[in-house]
Amino acid sequence: DIQMTQSPSSLSASVGDRVTITCRASQGVTNYLAWYQQKPGKVPKLLIYAASTLQSGVPSRFSGSGSGTDFTLTISSLQPEDVATYYCQKYNSAPRTFGQGTKVEIK
């Protein structure tokens, strides 16, 4: 099975900072990669699919890139409402594995 590894596991950054989270697949998943945001006590929300396509209604400060095995989620200017745990997921085939999550906090 393909493993999905996110880094870092957590980060603390200041408002306005550029934040980058990486997700690495143990084998290629082409662009079948999604990013989700889960705020504390809330339901996960789709941010990005197909590695780089922004889901409708998601602020443009979020962006995704990558293909194959290496992917990146970038928040161009961190806002207080972005405090959350972020998960990547590969969905090309079963098992449709999630990464372990990256917790983002405000410094």
Partner 1 sequence: EVQLLESGGGLVQPGGSLRLSCAASEFTFSNYAMSWVRQAPGKGLEWVSSLSGSGGSTYYADSVKGRFTISRDNSKNTLYLQMNSLRAEDSAVYYCAKNRGYSSSEALDYWGQGTLVTVSS
Q: Give the footprint of partner 1 on this chain (CB under 8 A).
A: 1, 32, 34, 36, 38, 43-46, 49-50, 55, 85, 87, 89, 91-101
For residue 32 the two structure tokens come to 């079948």
Question: Whose Cβ is closer to partner 1: residue 66's or residue 99's?
Answer: 99
Min separation Cβ 20 and partner 1, Å: 20
Question: Whose Cβ is closer to partner 1: residue 17's or residue 69's?
Answer: 69
Question: Whose Cβ is closer to partner 1: residue 26's or residue 77's?
Answer: 26
Min separation Cβ 71 and partner 1, Å: 13
Distance separating alpha carbons of residues 67 and 78, to the nearest angstrom: 24
For residue 42 the two structure tokens come to 């809330």
For residue 54 the two structure tokens come to 């922004």
What H or E segment, with its residue span, contains residue 48?
strand 45-49
Min separation Cβ 43 and partner 1, Å: 5
Min separation Cβ 54 and partner 1, Å: 12
User: How are beta strands 102-106 and 10-13 bridged, if at all?
Assistant: parallel
Residue 95, Cβ density class (10 Å: 0-12 exposed, 13-18 middle, ≥19 buried) = exposed
